[in-house]
A and B are shown apart, each in its own frame.
Chain A
Amino acid sequence: MEKLKHIQGSIVSIPVNDIDTDQIIPARFLKVTDKDGLGKAAFCDWRYQEDGETPNPDFVLNKPEYQGASVLIAGNNFGCGSSREHAPWALLGAGFKAVISTEFADIFRNNSLKNGLLPIVVDAETQQQLFSLAEEDPSTTVSVNVEAQTLTLPDGREVGFPLDGFSKYCLLNGVDQLGYLLALDDAVQSFEADNPQRVATKA
């Protein structure tokens, strides 16, 4: 995972509540055994016409003025549904570095943080302001300071957002969480010594 300290980028909005992971990446793209090439399948059924290839000109991600956007502003409860980590992989593949919403589904948030995609929770007022900004001026950019946990809007207003200390450390240093768990092997062995195995799958 690459270090993620700052994000500076233009915004694009999909002001729809409850965008589920089946919309972010439909299940038929989950037959892969790696993480490559999922970006082109992001929002596939909204992004392409019936043939699955021709871009739907009405969908915001296909509009020329929003090309290159790296911060997605979404409706409430983004990423609900399936646990597929292909959802953040697809969003990263499509060039996004952060998603802003009022609420994220638990598993999506966890998966995103493990891949360097930053889920930013803001209040409804800020969300609406960003929706309006994105619609009125596609060149609108925002900046994010991960260390300070702040999102800076075009008018200079700084908005704080929650980020647990552990995830922040991993993002800032570009390390994944597995190293931390592997280093706890003594504690795990001690736990196993104190607690008999509950079920054996090989029995």
Chain B
Amino acid sequence: MTNNGRPRTLFEKVWDAHIVREQSDDSPAVLYIDLHLVHEVTSPQAFSMLRERGLQVRRPDQTIGTMDHSTPTTPRNELGIIPVADAMAAKQLDTFTKNCSDYGIPMYALGDEHQGIVHVIGPEKGLTQPGMTIVCGDSHTSTHGAFGALAFGIGTSEVGHVLATQTLLQNKPRTMAVNVDGRLGEGVTAKDIILAIISRIGIGGGTGHVFEYRGEAIRGLSMEGRMTVCNMSIEGGARAGMVAPDDTTFEYIRGRRHAPSGADWDAAIASWRALPSDDGAVFDKEITLRADELIPMITYGTNPGMGMPIDSAVPTPENETDFNKKIALDKALAYMDLRPGQKLLGKAIDVVFIGSCTNSRISDLRQAAEFIQGRKVADSVRMMVVPGSQQVKKQAESEGLDLIFREAGAEWREAGCSMCIAMNGDQLQPGQYAVSTSNRNFEGRQGKGGRTFLASPLTAAASAVAGAVTDPRVMLAGLS
């Protein structure tokens, strides 16, 4: 598909198809939004604004709500209810219920069989489809780009704009091709790909850009792996990351609750097949990684760009030529209480968290469970497994994964964001070290004073068993 004969990227095709008003010298483009996901934390002030101005939600039928950020993941009581102990969280959840009800927005409440993390349920329900524009008041909305959608996080003012008008003002971002050639080795996963990309380009490397992930290694990933990669685009500074839709995408969507069916399905497939970037389409930037050179990755610092191959040593600030980077590294190592040149392999840990919109889907849980089966979580480690949605939880339980985790000594929890953002009481204690499958290792992110090593579910599971940072390939090979 070309526009006036000019080859276009996947991003440009989706962008062009949603222009209500073109960008000009005086104003940004006005972009139509196909799907708006809302949750309890970033929406209340937007609904208040609607009330103050007497506005309605323009398309409640293109909006969906779920509770995820401030929800407890503690067990249900005898009535099957998940109690909310925190009064502020309870008020926020009640407010959300009222807002969705007043404005006619379908919503999955805490404990509902379809409730879950907003970026898990969109794809799970078949709401997320190629070629769509998708927004949410959450920076990890980039997840949905795995389907070839243009999906990005917005602030609460913009949540209000979309609720009221189904449109957004946007300046057109630039594009960056991120090629991942070759094939992944045993024990190396989608999480390691994205951590390697971010440690290469830095946490601000993609600012102002939309990524398109390409190459053999990306094509070879499952949809859930692609979601893990796109999820962390924002950690490289890009608001959105996309993967061209292909048969893997279509097979994932087919038959889901909101997926097209019958003749609509055939028409949808035909239009989706036209989305991939044209030969000769030009990107503003391009980088290339070799998948076969990757090994499991881990972060050592206080932003996701401070990552390294798991067998490497923590960098030395004195070797850093950029003064600001040296200061940042000094500060990070002081917070993490790590020494320059120290290896993380063998570093004792206190907590392992498997969950978050990055790595809480069924394939993540299967991978961790397969590894942990027949092994025990080290006595010194608290391991939490938090499924991304009630449907993921149900599926995992039908496969007996919950029993595998429990028998190994891990906690099996209700669905939600949990210790990724630590708003709901699931948090690290000051000074504790965690290996976490989530997306951010910022100071205090998982609890004030807590220290986070970001890694894949496999690395997290191996580290839980060993009680220390561990390369999963060693255990996979039976060498331990």
**Interface residues in chain A, defined as those with a beta carbon under 8 Å from any beta carbon in chain B:** 15-18, 20, 22-23, 26-28, 30-35, 45, 50, 52, 75-77, 80-85, 103, 105-107, 110-111, 114-115, 164-166, 169, 176-178, 180-182, 184-185, 187-188, 191-192, 195, 197-203
Contacts and interface: CB of A to CB of B under 8 A. Distances in A.
B239 A191 contact: no
Contacts of A192: 32
A201 B258 contact: yes
A33 B327 contact: no
B277 interface: no
Contacts of B247: none
B442 A16 contact: no
B155 A83 contact: yes
A165 B169 CA distance: 13
A165 B27 contact: yes
Interface of B: 17, 20-21, 25-28, 30, 32, 34-35, 41-42, 44-45, 48-49, 53, 55, 58, 60-64, 69-70, 86, 88-89, 91-92, 95, 105-106, 126-127, 129, 131-132, 137-139, 153-158, 160-161, 164-169, 171, 173, 203-204, 207-208, 234, 237, 239, 258, 303, 305, 324-325, 327-328, 331, 421-423, 430, 440, 442-445, 448
A80 B127 contact: no
A167 to B, nearest CB: 9
B61 A201 contact: yes
A44 to B, nearest CB: 9
B26 A166 contact: yes
Contacts, number: 211
A22 B27 contact: no
Majority secondary structure, A binding face: loop
Closest 5 CB pairs of A and B: A111-B155, A77-B204, A85-B155, A33-B44, A83-B153
Contacts of A45: 443-444, 448
B42 A105 contact: no
Contacts of B45: 33-35, 85
A37 to B, nearest CB: 12
A77 B203 contact: yes
Nearest to B154: A83
Contacts of B60: 201-202
Given A187-B20, A188-B166, A195-B32, A18 B203 contact: yes
A114 to B, nearest CB: 4
Contacts of B64: 201
A27 B421 CA distance: 7
A198 to B, nearest CB: 4
A198 B132 contact: yes
A171 to B, nearest CB: 14
A18 B322 CA distance: 14
A34 B203 CA distance: 30
B204 A105 contact: yes
Given A181-B30, A182-B165, A202 B61 contact: yes
